């Protein structure tokens, strides 16, 4: 399965913790997703930028160097596992179209009806490669333009149209315009997780450290002291129990100033695909057995850790109430 990542921070920050150093970083994930690596971000002048190549991140010194130096308030990344289309720059995510950056994990069928719809919206010229993902990106770009440049309304309209008209296995997607970000999990076929990190006012001013006891890995971030951020990824990048799995059909919207909302605007898929409906290459890209087993194990561990943390908080609260009652 392709892997998605996004970081939205209240001030310019690096993502090297998540891209390179975290226990389940994108660098580690690229060993299973080796057909392309790409980054999209908003630079210091507010301009959308992308950098991508049809190579594995773990084999690219340029990726490592760039991940440690790139600073932005809004960025996304994609690791590609091809579903059958060729390995070239045009088929590598993310896609930049009319100032909109997008990346996709999943499979949908590009029908003649979808091609006509993209053409009607005046967005067909954006399609330079041969992937279903780029056609979906063009549909989103066209709908955003048709909705007066509104990213939320345009992306919602495009994905609602896909849900009603196109055979879909999964359209997990990240879409960014300026420092505004949309993340969608549709349907529950592939996972998409979110982690909200409030400003760490009690952290040392020179950064923070975290560790994974199970892997004996320490990761260090040089993000500014007191920064708050939201991370979205195809799987939890560390063992923090605060990671939350998005619901099936959930859309998360982050405004440029960091306000976060969640909604479920999509109806049921009119033409849902199972993995048995996919071609051999597409099915293989969605069902790497070792990766699936590892994700299931980690999801269970995170759920159990979160349950233990909640139980501990409840017990602590009960003890506090008992103490207060005796004192009274």
State the DSSP string of 100-157. EEEEEEEEE---HHHHHHHHHTT-GGG--SS-HHHHHHHHHHHHHHHTTT-HHHHHHH
**Exposed e or buried b for every residue in 64-101, given b needs 16+ CB within 10 A?**
eeebeebbbbbbbbbbbbbbbbeeeeebbbbbbbeebb
Q: What is the model's pLDDT at position 201? A: 46
Q: Where does residue 90 fall: left (phi above 0), alpha (psi -120 to 50 degrees), or beta otherwise? A: alpha
CATH topology of domain 3-286: 3.60.20
pLDDT tens, residue order, the chain (328 aa): 789 999 999 999 999 999 999 999 999 999 888 889 999 999 999 999 999 999 899 998 889 998 999 999 999 999 988 766 667 888 999 999 999 999 999 999 999 999 999 999 999 999 999 999 999 999 999 999 999 999 999 999 999 999 999 999 999 999 999 999 999 999 999 999 999 998 764 443 334 344 333 333 333 444 545 579 999 999 999 999 999 999 999 999 999 999 999 999 999 999 999 877 765 444 444 554 445 556 556 656 665 665 565 556 555 555 555 544 444 4
Q: How far is CA 82 from CA 61, 188, 302, in A?
A: 22, 21, 29
Question: Contact 127/135 with Cβ under 8 angstroms?
Answer: yes
Beta bridge partners of 83: none
Tell me which residue of 143, 113, 149, 112 sits closest to 126, measured CA to CA.
143
DSSP secondary structure letter of residue 278: S
Rounded Cα distance, 73 and 65, in Å: 19
- Residues 147 and 121: their CA atoms lie apart, in Å, by 11
Strand partners, 302: none
Q: Which of 273, 209, 198, 207 is nearest to 242 (CA)?
A: 198
For 202, residues 6+ apart whose C-beta sits below 8 A from its C-beta are none
Write down the pLDDT at residue 208. 37
In the chain, where the domains are located: 3-286, 288-328
Query: Considering the entire predicted model, what is its pTM?
Result: 0.80
pLDDT at 274: 85
What is d(CA 14, CA 41) in angstroms, rounded to the nearest whole number?
Answer: 11
Query: Is 39 within 8 Å of 76 (Cβ atoms)?
Result: yes
| CA atoms within 13 Å, Cβ hemisphere of 189 | 22
Residue 104 CA to residue 81 CA, distance in Å, equals 11
Task: Please report which residue ranges of the chain form alpha helices under DSSP H.
Answer: 16, 26-29, 61-69, 112-120, 132-146, 151-165, 280-286, 289-327
Give the pLDDT of residue 198.
87
* pLDDT at res. 39: 96
Give the N- to C-terminal CA distance of the chain in Å, as an integer. Answer: 58
Q: How many CB atoms lie within 10 A of CB 319?
A: 10
Q: What span, in angstroms and rounded, lies between the C-alpha atoms of 250 and 235?
A: 16
Tell me which residue of 66, 158, 145, 147 sits closest to 104, measured CA to CA.
158
Q: Give the model's pLDDT for residue 297.
A: 66
């Amino acid at each position: 399965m392709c892997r998605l990542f996004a970081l939205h921070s209240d001030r310019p920050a690096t993502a090297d913790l998540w891209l390179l150093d975290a226990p389940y970083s994108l660098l580690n994930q690229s060993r299973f997703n080796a057909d392309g690596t790409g980054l999209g971000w908003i630079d210091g002048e507010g301009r959308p930028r992308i950098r991508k190549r049809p190579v594995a991140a773990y084999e690219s010194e340029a990726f490592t160097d760039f991940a440690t130096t790139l600073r932005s308030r809004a960025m996304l990344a994609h690791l590609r596992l091809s579903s059958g289309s060729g390995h070239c720059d045009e088929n590598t995510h993310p896609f930049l179209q009319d100032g909109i950056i997008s990346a996709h994990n999943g499979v949908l069928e590009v029908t003649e009806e979808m091609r006509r719809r993209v053409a009607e919206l005046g967005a067909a010229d954006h399609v330079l490669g041969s992937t279903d993902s780029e056609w979906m990106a063009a549909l989103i770009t066209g709908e955003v333009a048709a909705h007066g440049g509104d990213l939320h309304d345009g992306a919602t309209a495009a994905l609602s149209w896909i849900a009603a008209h196109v055979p879909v296995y999964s359209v997990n997607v990240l879409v960014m315009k300026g420092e505004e970000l949309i993340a969608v999990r549709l349907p529950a076929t592939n996972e998409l997780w979110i982690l909200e990190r409030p400003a760490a006012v009690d952290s040392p001013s020179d950064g923070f450290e975290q560790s994974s006891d199970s892997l004996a890995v320490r990761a260090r971030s040089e993000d500014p002291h007191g920064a708050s951020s939201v991370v979205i990824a195809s799987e939890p990048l560390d063992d923090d129990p605060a990671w939350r799995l998005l619901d099936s059909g959930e859309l998360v919207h982050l405004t440029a100033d960091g306000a976060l909302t969640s909604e479920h605007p999509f109806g049921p898929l009119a033409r849902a695909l199972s993995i048995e409906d996919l071609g051999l290459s597409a099915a293989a890209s969605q069902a790497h057995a070792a990766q699936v087993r590892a994700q299931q194990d980690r999801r269970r561990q995170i759920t159990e850790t979160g349950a233990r943390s909640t139980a501990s908080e409840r017990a602590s609260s009960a003890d506090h109430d008992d103490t207060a009652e005796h004192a009274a």
